[in-house]
Amino acid sequence: MVVIDVIRAFSVSAYALSAGATECRLVADLDEARALAARLGAPLSAEIEGLPIEGIPLSNSPTQVLEADVRGRPLVQRTSSGTQGIVAVAGAERLYAGSLVVAAATARAITAAAPELVTLVATGSDRGHPEDLACARYLEGLLAGCMPDLSSLLQPLYATERYRQLLAGEWPGFPMSDVELCLAADRFDFAMPVTRDDLGLRLIAAPSS
């Protein structure tokens, strides 16, 4: 199963891992996320309904993550869509966090595992976030051995008022640069498997080649 959140949870995860974070810890509850970050001495990336949280300097932003000190440390993440989706299906036999920046690598990892069934969950599709459905269709094409036209798949996003607002920098805690970072398809050559241990849900970078 692949749980997809393009803008922005699992793009944040990918950029954090690329910047040297050791892992990402995915948590549904804000108080639990605060407690885990304190326990680990880790930075916390969090939002509520897409908005920054007072007292938490690092929002759900790949731009901010790249500017933060994450090298050699875990990153704790709490979001209103992506982390909730992962927590909801944490019992899946094999689980990946997905976004456009790791799409091809995720497809390669799934192909290598050769599962009988692959479920793609576009977390934001019911919240007016067409980029997650576009990513799911892109992944579906890659898994079928095709090269989908991503620009066409993203047209529903480009047509939204939300996209215009994001590009204009009108959303609090959402730097304009986040859009370009999140839509940079296949930027990283690693998939992001999610497993559970004594501390909860753990997401890491797993090279796909």
Q: What was the pLDDT predicted at 125?
A: 66
Q: pTM for the whole thing?
A: 0.95
Q: How far apart are CA 2 and CA 171, in angstroms?
A: 28
90 — pLDDT class (breaks 50, 70, 90): confident
* Domain chopping of the chain, boundaries: 2-207
126, pLDDT greater than 80:
no
* DSSP string across 102-152: GHHHHHHHHHHH--S---EEETTTTTT-HHHHHHHHHHHHHHTT----HHH
The CATH superfamily holding the domain 2-207 is ComB-like (3.90.1560.10)
